[in-house]
């Protein structure tokens, strides 16, 4: 065959024809494309190569070259492409559809290759039964947790909730079924359950004096600190807003809660747990300025969930990631405990040996996901807890932790006192009766042993208890020695995790019970230490005191579902992240990080929210979008707090009364031309000269004074609330002295609509004129309307679209854009001069930089709304937000006493103003 191919090449290929003449010549002139002759390949200029053809060839080299070509040709014919099947290599007259299913119909020479291909395809997709095996499921779940950590209740939530990925976790946002009103009823009359295990927990250990000295740098000396007397003794939970060391009040970090371990006799060593939002975990690295302990970020290798150090089984390139049923030699799949970045029994701990501000040796441990935290909200939270759990009983001695503690009479006496206090909770009518922040340590039996056969709603049943003890519990709370808990000891937590009873063992015990549904005997390893922390609920204002009170349940890791299911079986409602926001809204409390615009986490959240809302706005067709320029809304997706504070500081400095009177007398046309033209040098100069950043007023003394000046009323604004100490008169001297230290300051307020309406996110809070207040006296007064504004950028956007269609597909240069901007500004003098190009304009949105946010509309702007909805508790629309302190004082000073504290509220998508009453709750 090779001889035949060589013969064909020798007698038919043009390369074998040798020209006449002598040997090879290297200086042959280039032949033009008009001259005939041999040309190898395609030349751009139509000529041949500069090198001349050889006069002779070598037989051996020529045969080897032709043999390589023949080999490549045969390989290309016999090799099957990756995308086709084996039967496609057959001639068309031999192909049958049945060959793709039955390999025996193929010729014998192709059966082996077809069987290998079919076997490879079968290994890619196993049956559902194989995929749902316990080991394969765990391996798949562990792989899916590499980027976002799962809570122990993740699978339970994933079947019933819309899941979102936030802060490095996969959390439940809202349920798939409608339950907004049922969840509110649960918080108001029964119980709502939430999983807060994603909160980060930092443990500090050291000398008591050194800890207080270092932690005092974080707090405000005039407010609550870590050294509060009740919190120091370990009887109460404390909460405080922490700041960077020595930077109060300009650089807050965020709110934290903390627990002190009760003192032990003759020891000055203390233990402290600090609970913070997950966004604060990275910010808490600023502890290096006070405490020389830094919480480092885990390396990429540590982020991958690993629960053991055993080598992983080797996998072939074509095999699946999951374990096959035949491979039984590898290590079994294990469930991830904790955050998956550490061994189940090895915590992340750092020790400091550097001398800093506190000059001591400290130890800092990261207990995130090591301690599970459940929150029960509602007046019957104590009823659910007392029905779901039972205090542990003594047992026979063994090697476990609880039998060892049973040998000590003092420890058993303490446990009996804690059990008595726990039984006293059954005689309390509402959870709100207890002192705020009460802590109770307890050891309970495994709640799975007393799990009911079906869901039963826990109802209040006030039993006959000692009235004197109950009254003492309500007035004084839990004694200090009853706050002790074995949950503080790491060795006890590890013992409880390692000796947990498996579900298989529990099912076996249930099958051996003579009477189905009866209580199972408690094994020695069925005792769990817990901590019950009381949550006070609403603590500000004059209405709905203690609304939303409940309990926080702290557990060791690995016991999440063992306590979650018994609580669900007691008829509680389950809430997600959305209900946490609604809970804060009904309490009139700021929610972190939504309502902390002066914190780094709040700034980051506002940027993310703005990008999300802007992307949602751009996805709608242009004809279906709201034109916020015509509605007079400069920032519909964000709140420029810094610009608002700077403008009001400038207004109060130059005289707010004259500017306010001029602003009220302007018409809509003048406001569009003059006010928008004020974006020029004066505002920019003020912004450049003022380097001070705005702050949020959190001083309680100043808040009480400002609240009295606002004349607080009920939630619907119907009647005034009684104030025991009357506030001083609101005169010019009092305002000047107050503004001396609160010029660039915002204040958290609650707004109650006096008429119908539902406030929305980023609603505008404005100052009413004297004519508006006269309309308030008329029956059925709704409020004034904002005159429509003119969209100056609409013509520019249309011109840009028409120029795009007529011009070439290439983008215009910078000179063309500048020339187009100059021409458009010259043709329409009412268009404000901005630095943005026509390519950056979005229909219906103001480009950067923004004009004056305080005087853009016909009414002066005081602030914006951060939370707004119809309040089921108040029966009217309520909003929460921030307003400028100088602007608020200027407004209160110019209002009569009967209308003091009345403002206007307008949604971004509406021109209708509505009257609202402003309240500052302390």
Q: What is the pLDDT of residue 227?
A: 77
Contact predicate 569/451, CB 8 Å: yes
- Which of 498, 642, 590 is CA-nearest to residue 921? 590
| Through-space distance between the first and last CA atoms of the chain, rounded to whole angstroms | 101
Pair (563, 672) in one structural domain? no
Q: What is the pLDDT of residues 860-900, one digit of tens each?
A: 999 999 999 998 888 889 999 999 999 999 999 888 888 88
**CA–CA separation, 342 vs 390, rounded Å?**
32
As a whole number of angstroms, the distance between CA 328 and CA 342 comes to 26
Handedness of CA 11, 14, 16, 22 (dihedral sign): positive
Measured distance CA(249)–CA(741) in Å, rounded: 11
Q: Are residues 361 and 401 in the same domain?
A: no
Residue 871, helix vs strand vs coil:
strand
Strands 764-766 and 861-871: antiparallel
Indicate the range of 462-471, 569-578, 615-624 predicted with least confidence. 462-471
CA nearest neighbour of 494 among 565, 582, 419, 401:
401
Judgement on whether residues 477 and 626 belong to the same structural domain of the protein? no
Q: Is the pLDDT of residue 561 over 80?
A: yes
> Tokens representing 110?
């192709």
Contacts of 303 (CB under 8 A, 6+ apart): 146, 341
The span from the CA of 904 to the CA of 552, in Å, is 39
Q: What is the spatial distance between Cα 106 and Cα 88, in angstroms, rounded to a whole number?
A: 11
pLDDT score recorded for residue 718: 58
Query: Rounded to the nearest 5°, which phi and psi values hold at 833?
Result: -80, 120
CB atoms within 10 A of CB 571: 17
**pLDDT tens per residue across span 242-253:** 888 778 878 888
Cβ atoms < 10 Å from Cβ of 342: 19
| Assigned domain for 644 exists | yes
Same domain, 422 and 490: yes
Q: pLDDT of 30-45, one tens digit each? A: 444 444 444 444 444 4
Residues 918 and 767: their CA atoms lie apart, in Å, by: 11
Q: Is it true that the peptide bond before 35 is cis, omega within 30 degrees of 0?
A: no
225 backbone dihedrals φ, ψ, rounded to 5°: -130, 180
- Beta strands (DSSP E) in 755-794 are 764-766
Number of domains in the chain: 3
Q: Is the pLDDT of residue 307 over 50?
A: no
The pLDDT score that the predictor gives to residue 214 is 80
Q: Residue 704 forms beta bridges with which residues? A: none
The two three-digit tokens of residue 408, written as one number: 């000590």
609 and 557 within one domain: no
What would the two tokens of residue 223 be? Answer: 């407010």
Number of Cβ within 10 Å of residue 322's Cβ equals: 20
**900-922 confidence digits (pLDDT tens):** 889 999 999 999 999 999 989 88
With beta carbons less than 8 A apart as the criterion, state whether 853 and 644 touch.
Answer: yes
CA distances from 598 to 42, 696, 888 (A): 70, 7, 19
**Residue 289: its pLDDT value, please?**
39
Candidate from 49-58, 190-199, 282-291 with smallest mean pLDDT = 282-291
Contact 767, 862 (CB under 8 A): yes
CA 771/CA 209 separation, integer angstroms: 61
pLDDT of residue 821: 45
Q: What is the mean pLDDT of residues 481-507?
A: 89
> Which position has the higher pLDDT, 309 or 589?
589
- Closest Cα to residue 717, out of 922, 540, 914? 914
Give the rounded percent of residues in the chain with a pLDDT score beyond 70. Answer: 74
Per-residue model confidence (pLDDT) at position 808: 52
Domain ends where: 571, 590, 609?
Answer: 571
CA distance 322 to 302: 22
Structure-block tokens of residue 517: 């549904």
Q: What is the DSSP letter of 785?
A: B
pLDDT (average), residues 468-480? 87
Can you tell me the mean pLDDT for 332-341?
Answer: 66
Which candidate, 575, 568, 573, places its Cα nearest to that of 454? 568
Q: Are residues 251 and 381 in the same domain?
A: no
Dist CA 382 CA 478 (whole Å): 15
What pLDDT is recorded for position 723?
56
Average pLDDT of the residues in 685-705:
73
Residue 895, CA distances (Å) to 227, 714, 734, 768 in order: 43, 19, 16, 9
User: Considering the chain, what is the average pLDDT of its residues?
Assistant: 77
Q: What DSSP letter does each residue of 61-85 carry, written as one string?
A: HHHHHHHHHHHHHHHHHHSPPTTS-
Low-confidence winner among 116-120, 666-670, 733-737 (lowest mean pLDDT): 666-670
Of 138-152, 558-572, 666-680, least confident by mean pLDDT is: 666-680
Residue 123 lies in a domain: no
Shared-domain flag, residues 534 and 679: no
Tell whether the model's pLDDT for residue 375 goes beyond 60.
yes
248 plus 271 within the same structural domain: yes
Q: Show the DSSP H helices in 692-746 as ranges.
A: 700-709, 732-739
DSSP state, 223?
Answer: S
How far is residue 147 CA from its own chain's centroid?
15
The dihedral formed by the CA atoms of 490, 492, 494 and 499, expressed in degrees to the nearest 10: 180
Q: Between β-strands 149-150 and 169-175, what pairing exists: parallel, antiparallel or unpaired?
A: parallel
Q: Give the pLDDT confidence of 213-251 residue by residue, as tens digits.
A: 888 877 775 566 777 756 667 788 888 888 887 788 788
d(CA 235, CA 260): 8
Q: Is the pLDDT of residue 578 over 60?
A: yes
**What are the φ and ψ backbone dihedral angles of 21, each rounded to 5 degrees?**
125, -170
Give the integer Cα–Cα distance in Å for 847 and 609.
18
Q: Domain check: are 622 and 567 in the same one?
A: no
Distance CA 901, CA 894 (A): 11
Among 262, 310, 499, smallest CA distance to 399 is for 499
* Confidence grade of residue 344 (pLDDT, cut at 50, 70, 90): low
Stated as kind and residue range, the H or E segment containing 366 is strand 363-366
Provide the greatest CA pair distance for the chain: 129
Tell me how far the alpha carbon of residue 100 is from its chain's centroid. Answer: 51
Beta-sheet strand order (sheet of 161-166): 149-150, 169-175, 161-166
- Which segment of 120-124, 212-216, 388-392, 811-815 scores lowest on mean pLDDT? 811-815
Is 563 inside any structural domain?
A: yes
Which one-letter DSSP state was computed for residue 194? E
* Residue that terminates a domain, selected from 571, 586, 612: 571
Instruction: Let me know the angle formed at the C-alpha of 428 by 424 and 431, rounded to the nearest 5 degrees.
Output: 115
Verify that 500 and 628 share a domain, yes or no.
Answer: no
Region of poorest pLDDT, from 43-57, 165-179, 516-530, 848-862: 43-57
351 and 467, same domain (yes or no): no
Is the same domain home to 233 and 288? yes
What pLDDT is recorded for position 409?
83
Q: Does 15 fall in a domain?
A: no
Helix-helix angle 560-568:381-388, to 10 degrees: 120
Mean pLDDT value of segment 76-93 = 70
Lowest mean pLDDT among 153-157, 162-166, 237-241, 905-909: 237-241
The whole domain housing 236 covers 200-296+347-366
- Exposure of 580 by Cβ count < 10 A (0-12 exposed, 13-18 middle, 19+ buried)? middle
Residue 749 lies in a domain: yes
Question: How far apart (Å, rounded) are the C-alpha atoms in residues 917 and 685?
Answer: 35
Task: Report CA 656 to chain centroid distance, whole Å.
Answer: 40
Q: What share of the chain is helix, strand, coil (3-state, %, to 5)?
A: 40, 15, 45
Q: How far is CA 48 from CA 16, 20, 25, 35, 52, in A?
A: 18, 18, 15, 10, 9
d(CA 610, CA 604): 10
Identify the pLDDT of residue 286. 46
Residue 121 pLDDT class (50, 70, 90 cuts) = low
Contact 556, 528 (CB under 8 A): yes
Let me know how long the chain is: 922
**For 262-271, how does the pLDDT look when each residue is reduced to its tens digit (9 = 90+)?**
887 777 788 8
In a domain, 798, yes or no: no
Look at residue 764 and tell me if it is in a domain.
Answer: yes
CA dist., res. 678 & res. 681, Å (int) = 8
pLDDT at 188 over 90: yes
Q: Is 236 a member of any domain? A: yes
Task: Name the token pair of 83.
Answer: 């995308």
Q: Give the pair of three-digit tokens for residue 780.
A: 């059925």
Task: Kindly indicate the confidence band of residue 759, based on its pLDDT and cuts at 50, 70 and 90.
Answer: very high
Res 909: pLDDT: 92
SS3 of residue 374 by DSSP = strand
Is the predicted pLDDT of residue 304 greater than 50, yes or no?
Answer: no
Counting Cα atoms < 13 Å in the Cβ hemisphere of 652 gives 25
Share of the chain above pLDDT 90, in %: 31
CB atoms within 10 A of CB 466: 13
Of the candidates 419, 451, 420, 445, the residue with the CA atom closest to the CA atom of residue 529: 445
State the CB neighbour count (10 A cutoff) for residue 516. Answer: 8
- pLDDT band at 569; cut points 50, 70, 90: very high
Phi, psi of 671 (to 5 degrees): -65, -35
H-helix segments, 537-679: 560-568, 577-586, 600-619, 641-654, 656-665, 668-670, 676-677
pTM of the model: 0.77
Give the C-alpha separation, 700 to 705, whole Å: 9
How many C-beta atoms lie closer than 10 Å to residue 171's C-beta?
A: 22
- Weakest mean pLDDT among 51-65, 336-350, 556-570, 774-788: 336-350
Find the mean pLDDT for residues 496-523: 87
Res. 765: pLDDT tops 50? yes
Mean pLDDT of 270-288: 76
pLDDT at 839: 53
């Amino acid at each position: 065959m090779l001889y035949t191919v060589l013969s064909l090449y020798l007698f038919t290929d043009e390369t074998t024809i040798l020209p006449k003449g002598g040997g090879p010549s290297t200086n042959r002139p280039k032949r033009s494309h008009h001259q005939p002759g041999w040309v190898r390949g395609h030349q751009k200029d139509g000529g041949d190569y500069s090198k001349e053809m050889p006069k002779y060839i070598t037989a051996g080299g020529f045969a080897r070259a032709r043999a390589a070509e023949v080999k490549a040709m045969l390989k290309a014919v016999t090799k099957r492409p990756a995308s086709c099947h084996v039967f496609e290599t057959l001639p068309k007259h031999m192909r049958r559809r049945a060959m793709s299913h039955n390999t025996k119909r193929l010729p014998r020479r192709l059966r082996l290759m077809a069987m290998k291909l079919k076997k490879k395809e079968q290994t890619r997709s196993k049956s559902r039964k194989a995929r749902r095996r316990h080991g394969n499921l765990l391996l798949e779940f562990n792989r899916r947790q590499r980027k976002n950590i799962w809570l122990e209740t993740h699978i339970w939530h994933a079947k019933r909730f819309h899941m979102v990925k936030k802060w490095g976790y996969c959390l439940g946002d809202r349920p798939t079924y409608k339950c907004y009103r049922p969840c509110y009823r649960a918080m108001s009359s029964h119980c709502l359950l939430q999983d807060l295990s994603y909160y980060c927990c930092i443990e500090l250990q050291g000398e008591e004096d050194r800890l207080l000295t270092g932690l005092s740098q974080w707090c405000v000396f005039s407010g609550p600190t870590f050294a509060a007397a009740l919190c120091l003794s370990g009887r109460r939970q404390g909460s405080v807003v922490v700041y960077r060391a020595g930077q109060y009040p300009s650089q807050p970090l965020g709110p934290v809660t903390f627990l002190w371990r009760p003192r032990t006799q003759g020891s000055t060593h203390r233990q402290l747990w600090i609970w913070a939002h997950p966004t604060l975990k990275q910010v808490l690295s600023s502890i290096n300025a006070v405490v020389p302990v830094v919480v480092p970020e885990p390396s990429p290798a540590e982020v991958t969930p690993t629960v053991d150090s055993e080598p992983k089984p080797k996998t072939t390139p074509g095999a699946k990631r999951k374990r096959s049923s035949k491979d039984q030699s590898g290590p079994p799949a294990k469930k991830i405990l904790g955050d998956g970045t550490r061994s189940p029994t090895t915590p992340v701990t750092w020790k400091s040996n550097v001398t800093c501000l506190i000059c001591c040796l400290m130890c800092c441990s990261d207990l995130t996901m090591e301690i599970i935290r459940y929150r029960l909200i509602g007046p019957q939270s104590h009823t659910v807890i007392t029905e779901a759990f039972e205090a542990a009983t003594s047992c026979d001695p063994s090697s476990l932790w609880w039998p060892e503690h049973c040998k000590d009479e003092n420890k058993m006496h303490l446990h009996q006192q804690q059990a008595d206090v726990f039984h006293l909770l059954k005689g309390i009518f509402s959870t709100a009766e207890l002192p705020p922040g009460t802590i109770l340590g307890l050891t309970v039996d495994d709640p799975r042993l007393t799990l009911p056969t079906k869901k039963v709603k826990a109802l209040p049943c006030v039993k006959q208890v000692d009235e004197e003890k109950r009254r003492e519990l309500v007035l004084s709370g839990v004694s200090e020695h009853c706050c002790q808990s074995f949950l503080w000891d790491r060795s006890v937590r590890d013992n409880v995790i390692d000796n947990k009873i498996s579900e298989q063992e529990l099912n076996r015990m249930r099958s051996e019970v003579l009477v189905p549904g009866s209580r199972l005997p408690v094994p020695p390893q069925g005792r769990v230490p817990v901590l019950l922390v009381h949550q006070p609920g609403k603590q500000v204002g004059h209405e709905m005191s203690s609304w939303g009170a409940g309990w926080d349940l702290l557990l060791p890791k690995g016991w999440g579902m063992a306590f979650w299911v018994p609580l669900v079986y007691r008829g509680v409602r389950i809430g997600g992240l959305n209900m946490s926001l609604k809970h804060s809204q009904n309490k009139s409390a700021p929610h972190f990080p939504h309502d902390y615009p002066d914190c780094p986490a709040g700034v980051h959240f506002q940027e993310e929210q703005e990008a999300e809302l802007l992307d949602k706005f751009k996805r709608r067709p242009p004809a279906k979008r709201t034109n916020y320029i015509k509605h007079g809304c400069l920032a519909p997706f964000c709140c420029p707090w810094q610009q608002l504070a700077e403008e009001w500081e400038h207004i109060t400095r130059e005289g707010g009364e004259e500017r306010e009177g001029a602003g009220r007398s302007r018409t809509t046309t003048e406001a569009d031309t003059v006010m928008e033209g004020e974006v020029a040098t004066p505002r920019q100069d003020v912004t450049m000269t003022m380097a001070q950043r705005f702050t949020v007023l959190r001083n309680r003394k100043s808040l009480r004074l400002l609240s009295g000046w606002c004349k607080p009323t009920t939630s619907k604004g119907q009647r005034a609330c009684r104030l025991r100490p009357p506030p001083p008169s609101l005169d010019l001297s009092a305002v000047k002295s107050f503004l001396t230290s609160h010029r660039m300051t915002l204040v958290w307020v609650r707004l109650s609509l006096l008429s119908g309406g539902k406030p929305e996110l980023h609603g505008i809070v404005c100052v009413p004129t004297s004519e508006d207040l006269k309309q308030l006296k008329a029956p059925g007064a709704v409020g004034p309307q904002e005159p429509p504004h003119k969209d100056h950028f609409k013509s520019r956007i249309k011109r840009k679209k028409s120029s795009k269609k007529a011009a070439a597909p290439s983008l215009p240069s910078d000179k063309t854009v500048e020339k187009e901007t100059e021409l458009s500004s010259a043709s329409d003098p009412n268009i404000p001069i901005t630095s943005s190009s026509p390519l950056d304009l979005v229909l219906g949105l103001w480009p950067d930089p923004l004009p004056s946010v305080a005087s853009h509309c016909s009414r002066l702007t005081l602030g914006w709304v951060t939370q707004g909805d119809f309040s089921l508790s108040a029966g009217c629309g309520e909003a929460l937000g921030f307003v400028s302190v100088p602007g608020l004082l200027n407004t209160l000073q110019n209002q009569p006493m009967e209308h003091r504290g009345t403002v206007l509220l307008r949604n971004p998508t509406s021109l209708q103003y509505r009257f609202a009453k402003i309240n500052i709750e302390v």
